[in-house]
Amino acid sequence: MSPTPRKPAATPASAARRRLKPSAPPAAAGRLDRMLGAHLAAGPGLVKAADRAAAVGAMGLQIFTGNPTGWARRAELPKELPAFRARMKELGFGPLAVHAAYLANLAGPNPIFREKTVELLRHELRVAPEYGASFVNVHIGSHMGTGIDVGVKRVAEAVEKILDAVPRDEESALLVLENSAGGGNGIGESVEELIQIHEAMAARGVDMERVGYCIDSAHLWGAGVALADDEDVERLVREFDRRIGLEKLVMIHYNDSKATHGSKLDRHQHIGGGEVGARGLAALISHPRLAHVNYYLETPGMEEGWDRLNIDRSLQLAQGNLKLKPLPAESPATTAKKPVAKKSAPRTKPTSVAKKAAAKKPAAKAKRGR
């Protein structure tokens, strides 16, 4: 069985209809009929990340378990895991998602990298229950110019290898495959390609109850999938449901896009401040058949105060208020009541290795959450 997404803390039904006050303190729970979480840095501490998520009104969390741009995973699990699991429960949070490192490529031809990918995901799936995570989310990857069909075949093989080595039990996390923006021969850029992957895995005998899907709205946009209004979202929902089944759509990465439609680029932007815009994003977060899906923001500048702003903007869209204020020119951190992140704290990279990598390559920061 798929892990059952835990419901956010119950609140009186009347609270659900309360009018949104954008600067009011948090508790998205009760103001939204579905789970909306955020990807936050776990570097400063997992309990801290959970508290921050709650403080900005999120109802759930996505994290990295290690350096997102490296292969190595920590040998020892963080000591605060029991406290973290307890806090997540106390907060009544929705399912925790672990985002696998970006180097993973399920579709590539290089046997060494494929082996590393398989190992990495086995590791993430093995440690996920320790974190209390329901999902291990991974970008499907790139066929590296070798062609879509052979790429799809490799994905199915890799997923089979990963799952075969990780025994399934009640606590097992789902392996959640994420759509691509299509750049660099990324596969899974359309629902059609996701269907192809889905069917290849099923034909191979992969235990499909252990696999789910994540759709990233910024990736859809970059890939050129229509996402501008209710009709577009309706088409997407129907297409996905017809050949894969909506119950397999367990996560949505809820992001606006800095990149233009069909650009094949993966550039996340603040909600309603990008190319997708308020109408398409409102349709995505209010579609009645997607209420079971867990939404996670991967928008920029989370720890600088943009997290609260993006949660508020998402709630406004969900409530049909498409007239969002223009984005502030400066990071909202200075106006936040309880800024958690120190100025010197790593914003997105949890380890010193990652910090070094970021120092070498300043653009890396902008790519987080692909």
Q: Which residues bind Zn ion (CB under 5 A)?
A: 216, 253, 266, 370
DSSP run (H or E) holding 344: none
DSSP lists the bridge partners of residue 297 as: 38, 254
Separation between Cα atoms, residue 354 and residue 352, nearest integer Å: 5
Nearer to Zn ion, 123 or 370 (CB): 370
For residue 174, the SS3 value is strand
For residue 19, the SS3 value is coil
Separation between Cα atoms, residue 174 and residue 109, nearest integer Å: 25
DSSP lists the bridge partners of residue 37 as: 296
CB of 222 to Zn ion, least distance (A): 8
Q: Which residue in 212, 109, 203, 211 sits closest to 162, CA to CA?
A: 211
CB of 298 to Zn ion, least distance (A): 5
CB of 113 to Zn ion, least distance (A): 20
Separation between Cα atoms, residue 147 and residue 253, nearest integer Å: 26
DSSP run (H or E) holding 360: helix 352-360
259 phi and psi angles, rounded to 5 deg: -85, 150
CB of 138 to Zn ion, least distance (A): 10
Separation between Cα atoms, residue 348 and residue 99, nearest integer Å: 13
Q: Which two tokens stand for residue 342?
A: 């120190």
Nearer to Zn ion, 252 or 324 (CB): 252
Nearer to Zn ion, 266 or 312 (CB): 266
CB of 49 to Zn ion, least distance (A): 18
Nearer to Zn ion, 30 or 188 (CB): 188
State how far Cα 152 lies from the chain centre: 22
Nearer to Zn ion, 281 or 336 (CB): 281
Nearer to Zn ion, 179 or 351 (CB): 179
Contact 269, 253 (CB under 8 A): no
The type of residue at 242 is R
Contact 37, 61 (CB under 8 A): yes
Nearer to Zn ion, 39 or 48 (CB): 39
CB of 370 to Zn ion, least distance (A): 3
CB of 360 to Zn ion, least distance (A): 21
